[in-house]
Amino acid sequence: MQIEKFQYDNTIVRNFTVASIIWGTVGFLVGLYVALELVYPTLNLNLPWLTFGRLRALHTNAVIFAFVGNAMFAGIYYSLQRLLKARMASDLLGKIHFWGWQLIIVSAALSLPLGYTTSKEYAELEWPIDIAIALIWIVFGVNMIWTILKRRERHLYVAVWFYIATFITVAVLHIVNSLELPVSGMKSYSVFAGVQDALIQWWYGHNAVAFFLTTPILGLMYYFVPKAANRPIYSYKLSIIHFWALIFLYIWAGPHHLLYSSLPDWAQSLGTVFSIMLLAPSWGGMINGLLTLRGAWDKVRESAVLKFFVVEITAYGMSTFEGPMLSLKSVNAVAHFTDWIPAHVHIGTLGWNGFLIFGMIYWLMPRMYKTSLFSEKLANAHFWIGTLGILFWALPMYVAGFTQSLMWQDFNPDGTLVYGNFLETVTQIIPMYALRDFGGTLYLIGIILLIVNVLRTTATGKLIRNEEAEAPALAKAYKEHSSEHWHRWLERNPLKLALWSFVAILIGGIVEFVPTAMIESNIPTIDSVKPYTVLELEGRDIYIREGCNACHTQMVRPFRSEVIRYDPENQQYSMAGEYVYDHPHLWGSKRTGPDLHRVGGKYSNSWHYNHMWEPVSMSPKSIMPRYTWLFTTTDADGSLSNNGSLSTSMSKKKLEAMKTLGVPYEDAYIDQWEMHLNEQAQAIADDLNKDPNIEVDANEEIIALIAYLQRLGMDIKKSGTQTASIE
Amino acid sequence: MEGVEIFPLVSLLIFFSFFMLLGLYVWKTDKKFFNQMGELPLKNDQTQDQ
């Protein structure tokens, strides 16, 4: 067999690593900032670009796609080349991938604070950026698969299957969830509405966790933990079984984000059952990772890298136990919409993702620079500070979650709510938010220690840009083992492995989505529910722009405590048929503020006006920021200080787009859109101007937002529909 | 849609048979092969391990 000489590309690995560190720091800073805003609401400095509603998405996108994303690519490019004994097939594709990805991140950093958002979690970026993501993702996949085809190691190690599954599934998830009809250069509407949109969103959202934050990281674990511990993975057999089980089961778990919502019951049950089953393959991964260290635990004492790996695998085990538990309806009833959920998320992100990445960086950088880590002590310090950070982040949030949830459900003996004012449940947990901020600060300090350590390490070494390697070329003919089984054949055939992974991940999505979309009885029609007026549609888009769904939900669950709080008159929980014209849905995931699905008619127009101008004027101690830019204001000398006029240049296009998506707007209505908009706006303005303290023009954005808020839940009041028995 | 109950039944069947077959394969395969595969990441160390 001829020995071939070639070189591994380390430059691309180094570039992705540096990008991950930089964006990670940015992402953590933004996270800390928005977390501080919940304790000090004036931190947004009365600027629209710095509100929690707009910046939350910047934090999530930065840490998921920029921090973990770049680190994932670094680890994949490093390990893939060495596992396949081949250089990446194309240096050029690698460069396009790298620069394209960073450009996407920069466009996110610019567009999100400016309010260009789809409102869909972890998919907030508008359609032109979505297209860019798809293209760059394909570049990544092509390079990866091409490299696999050119490999010199015939059998694909388990890490590689995880990378393949990641590539395929993320592509499917991104494309389907990003199906949106553009209205303008940076505005689009989801082609799905209401319940279907929610299901697609959380099929995507959960599997973004599964196939962006878990499978590639498992792949990295399967490479870097054995390397760092210098021993093979505990059980290769286990890795085969848990790989297939994981990718098969994960897809179905999406509905566990929608328990006790208007999603049909059968879909909720599927989500629960599959989430419980998911515990097994996830723990398969954890067991494999931890037991790899059997007999090497003394090394953990000496090595910061191994410490990071032990904690990350443990955090993985904890979150993948907690997740299935949270998928049980009884537990979910307490946890959903509270801070328990972010606590769960951050055990996973700070512990599983963050710590694996830190361990990988501390292992990788010295090797690529042919030097030793500048300070093992500093790395150990990072480990301890980071671990403390995780604890201070999560534990207060558990307390906050339980506290708020129990307060929401607390009844007096006479059947009234003890905490009828939602705000009381928020002010109670502010100290917990402050503790969480301390935790976040510790974690941020940790990455700063990493930066110092890495900078000093690289200063003492020199990057081996192209690492010499040699390996025999792959024999053309392959002598099969006498009784070869299909899995070994799959391991030799990457394309077929990819295909069967594709089939496996599609099944869950199809089984859950097709009946939801096609069977009318899953989303019963409510006659009184009508499309939004043009003014209300504009108001809804302001709601989306400002990220109101980051703090407010629109899903009253079928609990007595909820219907009494949010709909005391008619006591109706939210029904599937109410959302049929909601492109996209705005159910929300978190109640930092109260649910708004039945807010229509609850407060006067002037209440909303004053509340949006200065929330504490209507709700003392509120942590909601001011939205003064929705108002046209003048200085004392009469000069314009803020132009809050509603732009109606796209109103007609928006109606037409909605009509294309199936919302039954009449042509006559669309032609007369301006008249309808002005009529409704003037009526609201006239009502507001009756108040001697208010002076407002009909064309201000606040009018549109008030119109939208006053519409929420009004259709159902007209129908007199009685909901069935409440659980 | 009539007979949607067939969906979960078919899914269960697919699942069950897939994992039975997978389990059989894993049980029957020669241990040596798995040991070799487990060693893959450790085999190609060009640089010094710390």
**A236 to B25: CB separation less than 8 angstroms, yes or no:** no
- Mutate one of B10, B18, B21, B40 to test the A interface: name it (highest A CB count within 10 A): B40
Closest by CA position to A242, among listed A131, A190, A302, A317: A317
Closest alpha carbon within chain A to B48: A367
Contact assessment for residue A311 and residue A304, using Cβ atoms and an 8 Å cutoff: no
Beta bridge partners of A187: A184
**B34 to A157: CB separation less than 8 angstroms, yes or no:** no
A10-471+493-513 fold:
Cytochrome C Oxidase; Chain A (1.20.210)
Q: What pLDDT does residue B50 have?
A: 34
pLDDT at A719 over 80: no
At A228, list the tokens.
């760092």
pLDDT at A382 over 70: yes
**Residue A230 C-beta-side C-alpha neighbours within 13 Å:** 9
* Neighboring chain A residues of B38 at a CB cutoff of 8 Å: 226, 232-233, 236
**A244 to B15: CB separation less than 8 angstroms, yes or no:** no
- For residue A581, what pLDDT band results from cuts at 50, 70 and 90? very high
CATH 1.10.760.10 assigned to A534-719: yes
* Neighboring chain A residues of B44 at a CB cutoff of 8 Å: 82, 85, 469, 471
Average pLDDT score over chain A: 93
Q: How close A649 comes to chain B (CA, Å)? A: 43
* Neighboring chain B residues of A8 at a CB cutoff of 8 Å: 46
Q: How close B6 comes to chain A (CA, Å)? A: 11
* Neighboring chain A residues of B46 at a CB cutoff of 8 Å: 8, 467-469
Q: What pLDDT does residue B15 have?
A: 81
- Mutate one of B10, B21, B34, B37 to test the A interface: name it (highest A CB count within 10 A): B37
Q: What pLDDT does residue A522 have?
A: 73
For chain B, the residues whose C-beta falls within 8 A of a C-beta of chain A are: 1, 4, 7-8, 11, 14-15, 18-19, 22-23, 25-26, 28-29, 33-35, 37-42, 44, 46-47, 49-50
3-class SS string, A411-422? ECCCCCECCCCH
- For residue A726, what pLDDT band results from cuts at 50, 70 and 90? very low
Least confident of A134-148, A252-266, B17-31: B17-31
pLDDT at A493 over 90: no
| Helix pair A534-545, A651-660: axis angle to 10 deg | 90
pTM value is: 0.93
**A232 to B7: CB separation less than 8 angstroms, yes or no:** no
* Neighboring chain B residues of A240 at a CB cutoff of 8 Å: 22, 26
**B41 to A226: CB separation less than 8 angstroms, yes or no:** yes
Q: How close A86 comes to chain B (CA, Å)? A: 11
* Neighboring chain B residues of A491 at a CB cutoff of 8 Å: 37
Q: Nearest CB to B4: which of A230, A372, A519? A: A519
Chains A & B: contacts with CB separation below 8 Å: 87
Contact assessment for residue A109 and residue A139, using Cβ atoms and an 8 Å cutoff: no
Q: What pLDDT does residue A721 have?
A: 55
A489 or A524, higher pLDDT: A524
**pLDDT (mean) for A215-227:** 97
**B34 to A486: CB separation less than 8 angstroms, yes or no:** no
Contact assessment for residue A193 and residue A582, using Cβ atoms and an 8 Å cutoff: yes
* Neighboring chain A residues of B41 at a CB cutoff of 8 Å: 79, 82-83, 157, 159, 222-223, 226-227, 232
* Neighboring chain A residues of B3 at a CB cutoff of 8 Å: none
| SS3 assignment, position A350 | helix
* Neighboring chain B residues of A373 at a CB cutoff of 8 Å: 50
Percent of residues in chain A assigned helix, strand, coil, to nearest 5: 65, 5, 30
The percentage of residues in chain A with a pLDDT greater than 90, rounded to a whole number, is: 87
Q: Nearest CB to A232: which of B1, B11, B39? A: B39
Q: What pLDDT does residue A513 have?
A: 79
| Alpha-carbon span A363 to A274, nearest angstrom | 36
- Express each pLDDT in A583-618 by its tens digit: 999 999 999 999 999 999 999 999 999 999 999 999
C-alpha A483 chain-centroid distance: 45
**pLDDT (mean) for A298-302:** 92
Closest alpha carbon within chain A to B4: A515
pLDDT at A506 over 50: yes
pLDDT at A724 over 60: no
Closest alpha carbon within chain B to A219: B41
The domains of chain A are located at: 10-471+493-513, 534-719
* Neighboring chain B residues of A235 at a CB cutoff of 8 Å: 34
Q: Nearest CB to A83: which of B26, B33, B41? A: B41
Token pair 């504009």: residue: A538
- For residue A489, what pLDDT band results from cuts at 50, 70 and 90? low
Q: How close B7 comes to chain A (CA, Å)? A: 7
**pLDDT (mean) for A290-314:** 94
Q: Nearest CB to B4: which of A157, A468, A515? A: A515
List b or e across A315-341, with b for residues whose CB sees 16 or more CB atoms inside 10 angstroms.
Answer: bbbbbbebbbebbeeeebbbbbbbbbb
Closest alpha carbon within chain A to B45: A82
| Helix pair A494-518, A194-211: axis angle to 10 deg | 160
**B1 to A518: CB separation less than 8 angstroms, yes or no:** yes
Q: What pLDDT does residue A490 have?
A: 61
Closest alpha carbon within chain A to B15: A248
A495 or A405, higher pLDDT: A405
- For residue A491, what pLDDT band results from cuts at 50, 70 and 90? low
DSSP 8-class letter at A647: P
Total Cβ atoms within 10 A of residue B7: 17
Q: What pLDDT does residue A727 have?
A: 36
